[in-house]
Structure 1
Amino acid sequence: MTARSALSYRPTNPELAVFVSGITSMGIEILALRIVAPQFGNHIYTVGGIMTVCLAALSLGYWQGGKRAPDATNRQITWLLLATATYIGVVIFASDLLLLQTSSLPLSPRYAALPASIALFGPPTYLLGFISPYAAELSQKKSTGEASGHVYALGTIGSILGSAATTFVLIPALTVDTIGLVFGVALVGTALFLEAPALPRKPTLASVGVAVLLVAATGVGPVALDYRGDVVYQTQTAYQELEVVDNGDVRTLYLGGARHSAMDLEDPDRHVFEYTTYFHLPMLMADDVDDVGDVLFIGGGGYTGPKDFERSYDVDVDVVEIDPEVTDTAEAYFGLEHGENMTTHTTDGRQYLQNTGEEYDLIVLDAYKKDQVPFHLTTVEFMELVSDRLADDGRFHANVIAAPTGSAGEFYRAQRKTMDEAFGETYAFRTSDANAIQNIEIVATNEETDFTAAELDDRNAERDLPVDLAEQIDNRLGALEATDAPVLRDDRGEVDSLLDPMLGQRYVIEESDGDTASGDGETPSIAAGTVPLAVAGRIGRREPAES
């Protein structure tokens, strides 16, 4: 096909249907993670499960469609498009309830998301699979090979467009429900175009009915009590789902369905999450607090740590936060004010360290989640880069989520062993007396320091720090014993397997008033990824408020 003929090419009605089905099928596959992740997490098993379900359903649709293709008509393609749009309306309306129901099935956490993925995304993808073989059968091309190649090329081009548009345009700009509405309306519009200009009565009425269903599902949706509190802001960023939830006087930032930061609206300086007080431990390990002048936080969230350090010490604070929406939300809802002593850099933490010429007295890494850890921020190569960007007497603080002992502590042991390779000394502190998954704070020094608990206690008593760290010092863990835990390296993808034992287990965050709360967005004693049915609602599916 020449350039001129390509520009003048006009697809047939079946070819148009193939193109739109390609856009929709790939868009659904990408959108699926945003629907499933708040309930089951966005780890590799959720992502891989969704891809497996969609590819299997599409293949089954191709196979069944090929068997029935000899009887294919344009009208049958119309009904397939309308049936798919109808199911998208069902997904918009009932996905939360179905996610809750399937989360209670007695499955290994590794496979927990599969039933919901099958029920939500299997049927529409299966139906779309029929369209390509139908279109090939109806093609005006002379040979079967030419017809098949032409049709599947159009479908692939549609998939490329659907992938790019969903990823780079729709998800950052619209809610999940609205994106579903866009896909549904596109299918209905294509169905009507296939019947034009005659517009027979039954397909036309069905198209109008499906369009009304889609709009109603998007606008109405089942609404019930959200056990977390009042959702005051919600958006889909390029990286995750972001929500701000008020529960009484406490405002919490949820990223990807998990609690990330919290602020007391009545007392903004209070540490709601106890682990944030541990960020001050490196100040005990400096020869003098006044020697700490330049501080870097990798991961902003609600900016609890950066705000606290700017307020408490005579320091310049740099913050690396990859998601600009997180920083904007911190400014709008968590009292963040950028002054001459605080600067935010919107980039990846490792890239920033590779490109900067700055040297820091303290670097704090606060970018991990329980079920999603940026692999490139865990390896010995990254730790060596951090060490190079620290002053000779600099300190590094890593907020690691794992259990202190047992199989759920595999990631902690591997991460500490990796840090031992790059730094002169490491110290670890648990943040909860429970043996559950929790925030474990690891402090590393470039020099060999060998601080005893008594020395840290003396410095805590002598120094006028904004928090009393006596209890934190008492929670110090012993040196890492001989272990077969791996040293994490760039050329080995071991982090996901180390996180496996934590799937489905409860993650607790100690609060400063002594209460223990779950860190995955669930109430205490509720397993990660589950929500009581009596209080379930359209969690994380609200329209954004004006910020």
Structure 2
Amino acid sequence: MSVIDRHGAAVAVFVSGVSSMGVEILAGRLLAPTFGSSVFTWGAVIGVLLAALSGGYVLGGRYASTHASMRALSIISAMSAVSVAVIAVSGDSAVAALGSVPIPGRYATIVPVAVLFGPMTFLLGIISPFAAEQSTAESHGGASGRVYALGTIGSIVGAFGTTFVLIPSLSVGLVAVVLAVPLVVVAVVLAEPDVPSMAAAGLAVLAVVVAASLVLGAPAGEQTLYETQTAYSQLEVTEENGVRTLYLDGVPQSAVYTDDREGYVFDYAPYMHIPMLMDDDVERVLFVGGGGFTGPQRYAEEYPNVTVDAVELDRGVVTAAEQYFRLEESDRLRVHVGDGRRFLSSTDHTYDVIVLDAFRADQVPFHLTTREFLELTNSRLDEDGVLMANVIAARAGEGSAFYRAMVKTLRTTYPSVYAFPTADTPSLQNIELVASKNASGFTRAQLQRRNDRRDIGLDLSAELRRYRQTDGVDTDDVPVLTDDYAPVDSLLDEQVDKRYVITGYNGSTDRD
């Protein structure tokens, strides 16, 4: 018996485990720019792929005794490799096209997952029972146990390798190519000297070679300065008409002028200075969420008596900000890579202002929204301290549930809560929620008088005209968010497919 006969089936099972779990991790990243990375996205990925894998197990088990062979394992591996190569080349465009299928938002990811990843996972599911039939183990139980152990070990390798090695280093398309290569090797090694298996192996080799050449040869957009996959998102830096913008999963996060213009690009950014009008003696400020670090840098530049700490979860974002947004640490601007809540839990510092700028329209870290987290921020603020949260939502009606839940939760912790919507539109927009420990509160007139007599680096008169008390916000149908119950993904679900408007240098930046 040849080495291939003894070990070929085991290698096929191991490789199928690596590729199936690797592609499952990749699916979440491929879907994120269009659908976000909510629990609904990951639920669809896991549920659909488990269903496809189970279907492959059933079919493979039914026909293993009559059709299992090295030739069959070769052909199945080849077909799976071709499927992954197709994902590498057309995954982005296919997801965008399938995203327009008229399905309720929380279920919308099921279609692209089923179409793109279902067939490949189904095929890989057939491999395990076929391999068990080819096993030299002394019993069916022993064969099944060995096969599923190998498949599980392969899945572990695929999960860790894709998560910690491939995605942080390569583009989505190139990761798919890398995951297809082991399947091609299995297809070639196990191919029998006959037309079907040799043709399948040849097709797999051709498909992966073509996919690799297309992925590697695809030019970046003419305005794209930098593009990478970080551990958390697809990051892109573009420049157009003298404006450099940082995108995460296709959503603009920060922008700066690269010509002779000064000031903020996006109109919502100046609102982050409103807390300077509410505290008479600001010395220490914390930003949770960095992006391009335009806010923290502006604070450090404008206020010589202020020390700024900025916490950013994603090391890749910090690197991009250093290279393209002039981020440079100093004695008054310190950058910390890590989770904002963990940082607040571990720090001994007390802050005058905390700016929470880590939310997106469809991706919100729920642990930064809960009453327990807000109580933590309250404990880290001085007696007149101010918390500002940059929330993306509609002001009322459909798309406003998350905003209203945040208002309700803030009221459980802070005596004074204000809202500053930033656009005259019913669409999703940046709404700045400002919570103060000052129980007496501030009227619009008081803040305007402070703005008139203080020099905080910019005139906030226009921003203060948008001042709103939150007493009139209807919160009866939304929950207080807690660590035990924070249905953030459900609250954000009604925002899916709604237009997100950021007013800025060209009037607006629309994201559908």
TM-score over 0.5 (shorter chain)? yes
Match of 1:533 in 2: none
Does residue 39 in structure 1 map to residue 30 in structure 2? no
Pick from 213, 224, 241 the counterpart of residue 219 of structure 1: 213
Normalising by structure 2, we get a TM-score of 0.94
Provide the aligned length of Structure 1 versus Structure 2. Answer: 504
State the secondary structure of the residue aligned to 2:470.
coil
Q: How does 1:493-512 map to 2 (within 5 A)?
A: 493-512=486-505
Pick from 434, 441, 452 the counterpart of residue 461 of structure 1: 452
Question: What code does the residue aligned with 2:267 have?
Answer: E
Q: How does 1:410-425 map to 2 (within 5 A)?
A: 410-425=401-416
Aligned equivalents of 1:201, 1:107: Cα separation in 2:
43
Q: Structure 1's 476 and 358: CA in aligned 2 closer, same or farther, altered over 3 A?
A: same
Does residue 120 in structure 1 map to residue 111 in structure 2? no
Aligned equivalents of 1:265, 1:322: Cα separation in 2:
26
1:484-519 per-residue CA deviation (whole Å, 9 max, x = no partner) reads 222111111321221121111111111155x0222x
Aligned equivalents of 2:6, 2:451: Cα separation in 1:
75
Match of 1:353 in 2: 344
Match of 1:4 in 2: none
What is the Cα deviation at residue 270 of structure 1? 2.1
1:148-200 per-residue CA deviation (whole Å, 9 max, x = no partner) reads 122111111111111111111111111111211111111111223334xx866
Q: How does 1:427-442 map to 2 (within 5 A)?
A: 427-442=418-433
Match of 1:299 in 2: 289
Q: Structure 1's 492 and 229: CA in aligned 2 closer, same or farther, altered over 3 A?
A: farther
Q: Which runs of 5+ in 1 are unaligned?
A: 1-9, 523-527, 529-547
Pick from 481, 484, 487 the counterpart of residue 488 of structure 1: 481
What is the Cα deviation at residue 267 of structure 1? 4.1
Q: How does 1:225-236 map to 2 (within 5 A)?
A: 230-236=223-229
State the secondary structure of the residue aligned to 1:400.
strand
Match of 1:544 in 2: none
State the secondary structure of the residue aligned to 2:405.
helix
State the secondary structure of the residue aligned to 2:274.
helix
Aligned equivalents of 2:406, 2:216: Cα separation in 1:
43
Aligned equivalents of 1:260, 1:449: Cα separation in 2:
34
Normalising by structure 1, we get a TM-score of 0.88
What is the Cα deviation at residue 341 of structure 1? 1.1
Mapped contact 1:94–1:222 kept (Cα < 8 A): no
What is the Cα deviation at residue 337 of structure 1? 1.6
Aligned equivalents of 2:342, 2:508: Cα separation in 1:
36
Match of 1:540 in 2: none
Match of 1:257 in 2: 250
> Structure with the greater relative contact order (CA < 8 A, sep ≥ 6): 1 or 2?
1
Does residue 51 in structure 1 map to residue 43 in structure 2? no
Question: What code does the residue aligned with 1:214 have?
Answer: V
Q: Structure 1's 178 and 224: CA in aligned 2 closer, same or farther, altered over 3 A?
A: closer
Match of 1:192 in 2: 188
Aligned equivalents of 1:116, 1:332: Cα separation in 2:
35
Aligned equivalents of 2:353, 2:397: Cα separation in 1:
31
After superposition, the CA RMSD in angstroms is: 2.0
Aligned equivalents of 2:120, 2:421: Cα separation in 1:
47
What is the Cα deviation at residue 15 of structure 1? 1.2
Q: Tell me which moved more, 180-189 or 348-357.
A: 180-189
Pick from 43, 60, 63 the counterpart of residue 65 of structure 1: 60
Pick from 311, 322, 331 the counterpart of residue 322 of structure 2: 331
State the secondary structure of the residue aligned to 1:442.
strand
Mapped contact 1:269–1:308 kept (Cα < 8 A): no
Match of 2:279 in 1: 286
Match of 1:77 in 2: 73
What is the Cα deviation at residue 483 of structure 1? 2.6
Match of 1:539 in 2: none
Aligned equivalents of 1:95, 1:231: Cα separation in 2:
20
Q: Structure 1's 199 and 466: CA in aligned 2 closer, same or farther, altered over 3 A?
A: farther
Give me the identity figure in percent: 45
Question: What code does the residue aligned with 1:490 have?
Answer: D
Mapped contact 1:413–1:480 kept (Cα < 8 A): no
What is the Cα deviation at residue 269 of structure 1? 4.0
Aligned equivalents of 2:260, 2:274: Cα separation in 1:
23
Match of 1:169 in 2: 165
What is the Cα deviation at residue 40 of structure 1? 2.0
Does residue 16 in structure 1 map to residue 7 in structure 2? no
Match of 1:88 in 2: 84
Pick from 397, 403, 428 the counterpart of residue 394 of structure 2: 403
Q: How does 1:463-482 map to 2 (within 5 A)?
A: 463-481=454-472
What is the Cα deviation at residue 449 of structure 1? 3.2
Match of 1:341 in 2: 332
What is the Cα deviation at residue 467 of structure 1? 2.0
Mapped contact 2:419–2:434 kept (Cα < 8 A): yes
